[in-house]
Structure 1
Amino acid sequence: MRTIDLSPLYRSLVGFDRLAAQLDAAANNEAASGYPPYNIERTDENSYRIEIAVAGFKSDELSIEVKENLLTVTGRKTANDDVKRYLHRGLAERNFERRFQLADYVIVTDAAELPEALKPRTIEIKSDSAPLIEGKKVKSEKAA
């Protein structure tokens, strides 16, 4: 990892604090980390939606903060004392912090979960000792 001291540049840019902050953000680019994956969707001419895949997180384990044109989404897993034995573990349950640099005119208006109507329904599979397909026995008439 390379460290660059931009202090002399900052001194010559009096009044350009925003540019210096953007240079810092570019130096600390988190593009190498692809977790969690996200989509940025343009919903109409002046609206955008950011969708972040945070499977395995509860809503109380997520926080969203906007400060100085920086949208920060943080996920912190609570300590789970349950001992689970997985056969396959495909969901990453690690803490994360994803940042999005917002333009000056962008206003964050809402954060929402998937509506109940759009969530998949669970259908219970019942199993009894009785046969699954039942039918009546039909007497066959023998031709004489």
Structure 2
Amino acid sequence: MSRSPVFGSPLFLGFDHLEQMLDRVQKNADGYPPYNIEQIAADRLRITLAVAGFAMEDLQITQEDNQLVIRGRQKDDSEGRVFLHRGIAARQFQRAFVIAEGIEIEGAWLDNGLLHVELRRPQPEVRVRTIQINGRNRPMVDGQA
């Protein structure tokens, strides 16, 4: 199934990288582990993943360019054990979140099977810039016409 580019309009200049980010997020659509994203203040977010059965040493959090990547891999401790029923999966996962430029990852903690990751979104400064209009056919670059 082909889809039309979201940012294909000539009015969206320089946004082609957003299309690539959306494709990466769509490929990461597995539902495991479940997670919440909360806005806990005007400039603060919290991502909470349900990672029951994972110890701190089984989890890894990295920031790779504009992605927050959370990985989990449990050690196989089933050697010598006989399961009559095994309903608790010991599976690995990778969950990636695309984060906007400027978002800061402040820290993470594990509590009762929930992994919490704190993010802070700094308030952008308002910038107003006046562009000089010249009477020539082309713009001035570094003082030269």
What amino acid does structure 2 have at the position aligned with 1:79? Answer: D
Q: In 2, Cα distance between the equivalents of 1:21 and 1:110? A: 27
Whether contact under 8 Å (1:41, 1:49) holds in the other structure is yes
TM-score, structure 2 as length reference: 0.60
Instruction: Answer 1 or 2: higher relative contact order, Cα 8 Å, separation at least 6.
Output: 2
Contact 2:28-2:96 within 8 A present in 1 as well: no
Matching residue's letter, 1:72? V
2:92 maps to which residue? 95
Q: In 2 relative to 1, CA 112–24 (structure 1 residues): closer, same or farther, beyond 3 Å?
A: same
Alignment equivalent of 1:23, drawn from 19, 23, 43: 19
User: For residue 106 of structure 1, what is the amino acid of its counterpart?
Assistant: I
**Structure holding more strand per residue:** 2
**1-side partners of 2:75 and 2:94: how far apart?**
15
Report the number of matched residues. Answer: 104
Q: Which has the higher helix share?
A: 1
Report what 2:111 is aligned to.
Answer: 114
Query: Greater Rg, structure 1 or structure 2?
Result: 1
Instruction: Read off the aligned partner of 1:103 and give its amino acid letter.
Output: A
SS at structure 2 position matched to 1:23: helix
Root-mean-square deviation (CA, aligned residues, Å) is: 2.7
Shift in Å, 1:95? 0.8
Map 1:1-144 → 2, pairs under 5 A? 16=14, 19-28=15-24, 29-30=26-27, 32-80=29-77, 82-114=79-111
Structure 2: gaps spanning 5 or more residues = 113-145
Unaligned runs of 5+ in 1: 10-14, 116-144
- Alignment partner of 1:112: what SS? strand
Offset from partner CA, 1:85-144 (integer Å, 9 cap, x none): 3344333211110001111231000111117xxxxxxxxxxxxxxxxxxxxxxxxxxxxx
CA contact (8 A) 1:62 1:76 kept: yes
Q: Cα distance, 1:39 vs. partner?
A: 0.4
